[in-house]
Structure 1
């Protein structure tokens, strides 16, 4: 169960001495986050049974590092860029772009990105990002809220009689387990590194 105590998230901790609440710093973080999300969506890693991108890893990690407020602002700008036709999504240049792309099979997962950033942001605000175990649980919840609207939207588009789980969930599980494991240790490790640096 998440605690109600609000704790600093990693981005705030790292920028404590750089006036993190000042608008230019927050804007820079949003732009950096959009760039990371875009690059991660374009990175394709060979994987069985399907290649994977690092998009979900970036989304979930960003939610934990940025927290709910800054994280939602960043994912909102990212999705807005995509809606305007910028090539920021996985495969958006190979098929369609803009709103047409977002209304396609990927649309539900993009909605899930917003929910996932919020989920990880709230968990980080409660301090769950400082422990690999709790971070792992938060990541599982975040991944679930990506898949849920994603598969449901596939059902709306393609029909409920189709093998939706075989198309929209099962092929990605192995890659997601690896990405979740990486994020579960990377964020708490970043906290430890931040603590070491701040003590110098």
Structure 2
């Protein structure tokens, strides 16, 4: 194999995935911290960030970004929604929202995989599948903290409208980005 046919394995191929992973984790943190007044509860952009990153970067980098975000939180960095300036680490992750956090990790891989090579409808459906994964894991975990009779009212109903809105926005953003890239912009 000559140097012209050998795959490039220089520094660029090593730094690009690392930079995308760290940028993704930073975007997830920013999304978790931004609160928008919404009814019945304030809305963060956490779901938007996770689904957008997973659908845009694919399963490997999407999961890597989410895992990096979770690792930062586990180390006590204040990355989680509502966490104080000095993070709470593993205690926060073991609390009522821990299942949702784990669900986001699985959803990042699933969404990224299902969105590969798809058009805007396929990417939107991939994000809906990811959101269903988040809710399944989150509600299962939350059931250890609250009675089953209050599970949907506490862990799904207040958030579903906002999350569906964020999925629609992420789908539109990705569609717009794809159009811009197709025009050479």
Is TM-score (shorter-chain normalized) higher than 0.5?
yes
- In the superposition, the TM-score normalised over structure 2's length comes to 0.89
Q: Matched residue pairs, number?
A: 176
Q: Larger relative CO (CA 8 A, sep 6+): 1 or 2?
A: 1
Which digits, 9 at most, give the CA deviation of each residue in 1:55-76, with x for residues without a partner?
Answer: 0110011101110111111111
Matched, 1:151 2:139: yes
Name structure 1 gaps, 5 residues minimum.
1-18
Which digits, 9 at most, give the CA deviation of each residue in 1:24-53, with x for residues without a partner?
Answer: 111111111111111110000010111100
Q: Contact 1:20–1:26 at 8 Å: present in 2 too?
A: no
**Aligned residue in 2 for 1:112:** 103
Q: Tell me, in whole angstroms, the C-alpha distance in 1 between the residues paired with 2:93 and 2:152.
A: 20
Moved over 3 A (4+): none
User: For 1:33-48, what aligned pairs fall within 5 Å after superposition?
Assistant: 33-48=24-39
**Aligned residue in 2 for 1:136:** 124
**Aligned residue in 2 for 1:179:** 166
- In the superposition, the TM-score normalised over structure 1's length comes to 0.82
Name structure 2 gaps, 5 residues minimum.
1-9
Q: Higher mean Cα deviation, 180-189 or 19-28?
A: 19-28
User: For 1:24-39, what aligned pairs fall within 5 Å after superposition?
Assistant: 24-39=15-30
| CA apart distance, 1:94 | 7.5
**Aligned residue in 2 for 1:8:** none
Q: Higher mean Cα deviation, 93-102 or 23-32?
A: 93-102
Which digits, 9 at most, give the CA deviation of each residue in 1:105-130, with x for residues without a partner?
Answer: 110000110111011110222x22x3
**Aligned residue in 2 for 1:103:** 94
